[in-house]
Structure 1
């Protein structure tokens, strides 16, 4: 875990490296983690983006040999002057890759190397490596993507920068009625129709899962407690794993027939469990305002 002092400082992550080594992928992943990301920004204008008046608390800036005014020695000197500012935490990440793999990637995408417009790709890669060598030696962090897939690089970015990510995974707990269709964005769906239906209790029909008498009725079911405990254990195990994989949103949906009683109560109760577990879920009830209807609820079993 990052210390409190470091989290209170404005964080600047400079992302550079060899063309084709994965800078764009890294910046997109950082953006998913909550960083504001800017690519190919003129590094000499960096002072305008930082300081007490900056609107960005966590900023990832990508630059490479194509960036206007790119001179590695000047970049290093500029960053050194920023490091002395106690209100700013600056980290430089260099993405490298072996020449033969860079050649393969350029040939596969049929892109020309910026430094080898009329020369073989290998000539441009060699010139770029020599140009960037001071930055590579000086960078705080180095990631070699030679043997990486895109997913490998994303996972490495999450591993190295995810613990201090400014944005947490968004968890939504929702209720819905199967009679009105499945929620299209749900990641995990739990069907609560095995529970006795409060709709068939005349004094509960017009109430909802937000009302205490409905909750008491549902809790009396012989299987509710054991089933709820199993779902709770599953979610508390899965959610941290989703976060480790960089998933930004998780929607947990509880369904019953009409979406007014069993699903609503279970969603509210589970949301409280997740809060106690350190999450901050948003609770949505899709069909809570729907009219209670026997044609929707089906036939009561004797």
Structure 2
């Protein structure tokens, strides 16, 4: 139970509740939005019982009024069973900001059919959400936040480590440059084992090819230079709303030079990047070896 997190996300319409749910989904939470309160307890029990450790539930004024009035009892039932694992995250914003957002998006406030105008809808919403807002463990005012700042606020409040996976990929230019690469390094200027018949069937992972490269100091120098560049700049992605980065290293066929350099660079990164930047080494053209 110590690893279980159950987050009830609520707040004023237009304040960013959907954005918060999307952020939590990116953080590995199982997200359910606009679930009737009468089903919340059973849904949580089923998910936790199936070894889902992180659950986020979106509750707002789209829930029928009679159902919303039962929030206190539903919340009490959850806390009785799951104790400190249950948290309420409530998002809000200044009224002028909400009015401007509704004007910009041209969306209709969910209470407009009964409130007749937006100010009345916003006022009625505050009253309906009082049982949730009163019990909130976390309150975030999104009036001046952009999506990146909101993500960082949520991350800090719920204690999620910021992790960015670094994919180091070898490839062959003759098969095309990876379109999703963040960095591309061309190592075709290095000596090519392909022109030695005994090395042609082997790859940059084989000892004979490694020995070949050992005769050319510029090969390891290039790997070191690429590694130093990435070690300096990749940590900045931890604060850039990213979950992964791809470093692509290419030669002609993706079998010798790029494979050898990718392995060397990947090992350098493993030894020097922080623990929350795991390194994944891949060889795209392996199917052609």
TM-score interval, normalised by the smaller of the two chains: 0.7 to 0.9
Which among 63, 73, 97 is matched to residue 67 of structure 1? Answer: 63
| Aligned match of 1:106 | 102
Structure 2: runs of 5 or more not aligned:
none
- Give 1:151 deviation, angstroms: 3.8
Question: CA separation in 2, counterparts of 1:124 and 1:289?
Answer: 60
Query: Residue by residue, what CA displacement relative to the aligned partner does 1:233-282 show, whole Å, maximum 9, x if unpaired?
Result: 33344444324333223222110122110101122233334444545443
- Give 1:143 deviation, angstroms: 0.7
TM-score, normalised with respect to structure 1? 0.82
Report the count of equivalent residues: 283
TM-score, normalised with respect to structure 2? 0.85
> Could you tell me whether the CA contact under 8 Å between 2:266 and 2:279 is conserved in 1?
yes
| Aligned match of 1:295 | none
Query: Residue by residue, what CA displacement relative to the aligned partner does 1:95-135 show, whole Å, maximum 9, x if unpaired?
Result: 00111111111222222222232522001101111222332
Cα distance 1:255–1:63, how it changes in 2: closer, same or farther (>3 A)? same
Cα distance 1:208–1:253, how it changes in 2: closer, same or farther (>3 A)? same
In the TM superposition, 1:7-22 aligns within 5 A as 8=3, 10-22=4-16
Structure 1: runs of 5 or more not aligned:
292-302
Cα distance 1:238–1:70, how it changes in 2: closer, same or farther (>3 A)? farther
Question: CA separation in 2, counterparts of 1:208 and 1:192?
Answer: 15
- Give 1:86 deviation, angstroms: 5.4
- Give 1:29 deviation, angstroms: 1.7
Name whichever structure is richer in helix by fraction.
2
Question: CA separation in 2, counterparts of 1:240 and 1:70?
Answer: 50
Asked if 1:224 corresponds to 2:222, the answer is no
> Could you tell me whether the CA contact under 8 Å between 1:15 and 1:94 is conserved in 2?
yes
- Give 1:223 deviation, angstroms: 2.6
12-21 or 35-44, larger mean C-alpha shift: 35-44
> Could you tell me whether the CA contact under 8 Å between 1:14 and 1:61 is conserved in 2?
yes
Question: CA separation in 1, counterparts of 2:65 and 2:233?
Answer: 47
| Aligned match of 2:86 | 90
- Give 1:211 deviation, angstroms: 0.5
